[in-house]
Amino acid sequence: MATTATKLGAIHHKILDLLKANPAGLTIYEIRDQIADLDVQQHLDKRVRELRYTHKVPLRRIGGKAVYVYEGEREQGLSDGGHISSALRAKLLHAAHGKCQMCGRTIADDDIKLEIDHKIPRNWGGLTVEENLWAICGLCNGGKRDFFATFNDEEMSRILAKDSVYERIAETLRIYEGSPTPAWLLQFVANADDFQEDWQKRLRELRYPVIGYEIAASRRKNPNGKWEAAYTLREWKPLPDDHKFLIKEFERVNRKARPN
């Protein structure tokens, strides 16, 4: 399915100007701090994503931070037919250095073969772009595919299309309401759009009194016998529309109240 490029507005051009002026890249927080309009900030993550249809704005790990880097305009608007070019495939395999990017097993030591896979499946809205592709072994690819097949495609597409990381985490917890949600699944939906340097902090922020989610942490053994973290939402309630503002304001007031 082809993706229609979004027409760029004033906010898109503000972001582009910031990135062009900072060739070393900016985190989403650094971009946000330089855009004063709070209403714009509520949708900043989505605005950055929309730039990718007409410009190359990958997310890179540089100096221990996840930053957006401006790499120029796309020759053509981005469309997604699912085709992975041989050049991109070779680039991804080279970047993996012979190691499965999901389980860590290697070609040299474990006799695996690497396959290029969409991190977010295409039927959940994942694009065939470098940021959404990785090299994983056949066992991980099959296991991931089988596990994801247990989810409702329409529901997951709706969750992963949400602009806010808080909404994505909250909606996933709602699916498992009253039962443990695997930590790796929450990490997956948190990072589905952009890498979160501390996705667990986003989870903790949902417990703030201004949001009021009761989320219990636990540990359990997975089918392979390994211990894994999990989180249980006690009672679901919709997030306020201004949840980002409420969280930020709660932190601001608490910082101000702390003794120097």
Q: Which position has the token pair 């304001």?
A: 249
Q: Integer distance in angstroms from the first to the last C-alpha of the chain?
A: 55
Closest CA to 192 of 95, 144, 124, 93: 124
Closest CA to 124 of 146, 147, 155: 155
Domain check: are 165 and 251 in the same one?
yes
Examine the fold and report which residue of 130, 148, 166 is the final residue of a domain before the chain moves on: 148
CA–CA dist 181, 191 (Å, integer): 16
Domain that holds residue 59: 10-68
Residue 76 lies in a domain: no
pTM score, whole prediction: 0.58
Domain check: are 137 and 160 in the same one?
no
Residue 78 lies in a domain: no
Contact (Cβ atoms closer than 8 angstroms) between residue 125 and residue 119: no
Domain check: are 244 and 160 in the same one?
yes
Per-run averaged pLDDT (10 residues), the chain, 260 residues: 56 91 88 72 68 78 79 68 84 93 89 89 78 87 77 79 87 90 84 71 94 92 72 93 92 81
Q: Which position has the token pair 């109240």?
A: 257
Residue 75 lies in a domain: no
pLDDT, position 106? 92
CA 15 to chain centre: 19
Domain check: are 165 and 143 in the same one?
no
CA–CA dist 240, 177 (Å, integer): 18
pLDDT, position 146? 75
pLDDT, position 196? 60
Task: Please state the domain count of the chain.
Answer: 3
pLDDT, position 76? 57
pLDDT, position 43? 63
Environment class of 225 (CB within 10 Å of its CB; exposed 0-12, middle 13-18, buried 19+): exposed
Cβ-based neighbours of 83, under 8 Å, separated by 6 or more: 128
Domain check: are 208 and 242 in the same one?
yes
Residue 73 lies in a domain: no
Residue 194 lies in a domain: yes
User: Residue 170's domain is classified under what CATH number?
Assistant: 1.10.10
Task: Using DSSP bridges, classify how beta strands 65-68 and 133-137 pair: parallel, antiparallel or unpaired.
Answer: unpaired
Residue 2 lies in a domain: no
- CA torsion, ordered 187, 178, 158, 119, to nearest 10 deg: 30
Contact (Cβ atoms closer than 8 angstroms) between residue 135 and residue 98: no
CA 241 to chain centre: 20
Examine the fold and report which residue of 95, 129, 148 is the final residue of a domain before the chain moves on: 148
Domain check: are 133 and 184 in the same one?
no
Domain check: are 52 and 90 in the same one?
no
pLDDT, position 135? 92
Residue 23 lies in a domain: yes
